[in-house]
Amino acid sequence: MSSPVTFLREFVKDPVQLGAVAPSGPSLAALMVEAADLKPDHVVVELGAGTGPMTAEILKVRPEGPFVTLEPNPPLADGLKARFPGVRVEQKYAQELRAILDDMGHDRADRVVSSLPWAIWSDELQSAVFSAILDVLADDGRMVTFAYVHALWLPAARRLRKALEDRFHSVTTTRVAWLNLPPALVYVCDRPRRS
Ligand SMILES: C[S@@+](CC[C@H](N)C(=O)[O-])C[C@H]1O[C@@H](n2cnc3c(N)ncnc32)[C@H](O)[C@@H]1O
């Protein structure tokens, strides 16, 4: 079964976990990974890999180096393992990041490439996932995460922007990937605030 069909089928089963009806396109994947500014020695974590559009771009730009990708949905995680045989794919939630990095022998992540559906989550779930990310992100670390442009004026998107600004010293946005369906931009979140 093709990736978009698998993704849509899993969306129908669990729309809140999937958060989108279709995988991201190559223009958004390229924008995300460009914004992540990956270096050869970075410990890179991908959250919510889905069918792997961001994973493929990460590996294209940074083929070697410490990398783990998380996808809790079982059929999607199985698809990632088949598509990227040499890659560490964990069928786990972002909330389990500390244990995953410990198991890899790393005490911090330099880059987090997140496709998580923040905007449709409760405050409690957002906070739990932010805590897990901030717990492992290096002091000079960066998280990138995307948002759909048509929804930026909605309360959920404004709540996300505030949540990011509360948790990072610097939050900027990229240009828009107009070719993505729907068009999206990327939040570039630098240097976690340690409360
Ligand atoms: C909007 S999709 C993005 C998929 C893919 N990265 C893309 O851009 O097409 C969000 C993905 O996050 C995953 N996800 C949801 N909650 C998660 C969590 N707590 N930790 C890690 N991944 C999660 C979902 O299973 C889903 O595959």
What Å distances lie between residue 169 and 44, 138, 174, 192, 193, CA to CA?
20, 13, 17, 6, 6
Nearest to 44 by CA among 101, 86, 126: 101
Q: Are strands 44-47 and 109-114 parallel, antiparallel or unpaired?
A: parallel
Q: Are strands 137-148 and 168-173 parallel, antiparallel or unpaired?
A: unpaired
pLDDT over 90, % of the chain: 86
CA of 9 to the centre of ligand 1 (A): 14
Q: How far is CA 174 from the centre of its chain?
A: 16
CA of 191 to the centre of ligand 1 (A): 23
pLDDT given for residue 2 in this prediction: 62
CA pair distance 82, 103, nearest whole angstrom: 22
CB atoms within 10 A of CB 60: 11
For ligand 1, whether the C-beta of 192 sits within 6 Å is no
pLDDT given for residue 6 in this prediction: 85
CA of 49 to the centre of ligand 1 (A): 6
Q: CB–CB of 13/80 below 8 Å?
A: no
pLDDT in tens, 142-190: 999 999 999 999 999 999 999 999 999 999 999 999 999 999 999 999 9
Query: Which pLDDT band, with edges at 50, 70 and 90, does 4 fall under?
Result: confident
Residues contacting residue 127 through CB under 8 Å, at least 6 positions apart: none
pLDDT given for residue 138 in this prediction: 98
Residues contacting residue 11 through CB under 8 Å, at least 6 positions apart: 18, 20, 21
| Mean pLDDT confidence for 94-117 | 97
pLDDT given for residue 32 in this prediction: 98
For ligand 1, whether the C-beta of 93 sits within 6 Å is yes
**pTM (two decimals):** 0.96
- The preferred substitution site among 9, 17, 112, 133 for testing ligand 1, maximizing ligand atoms within 8 Å of CB, is 17
For ligand 1, whether the C-beta of 50 sits within 6 Å is yes
DSSP state of 23: P
Query: Which pLDDT band, with edges at 50, 70 and 90, does 1 fall under?
Result: low
Which CATH number applies to 3-192: 3.20.20.70, 3.40.50.720, 3.40.50.150, 1.10.490.10? Answer: 3.40.50.150
pLDDT in tens, 22-39: 899 999 999 999 999 999
Phi-psi region of 65 (alpha: psi -120 to 50; beta: other; left: phi over 0): left
Residues contacting residue 68 through CB under 8 Å, at least 6 positions apart: 44, 45, 46, 88, 89, 90, 100, 101, 104
Q: CB–CB of 138/106 below 8 Å?
A: no
Domain ranges for the chain = 3-192
DSSP three-state, residue 38: coil
For ligand 1, atom 18, which residue shows the shortest CA distance?
93
Instruction: Kindly give the number of the ligand 1 atom that is closest to the alpha carbon of 14.
Output: 25
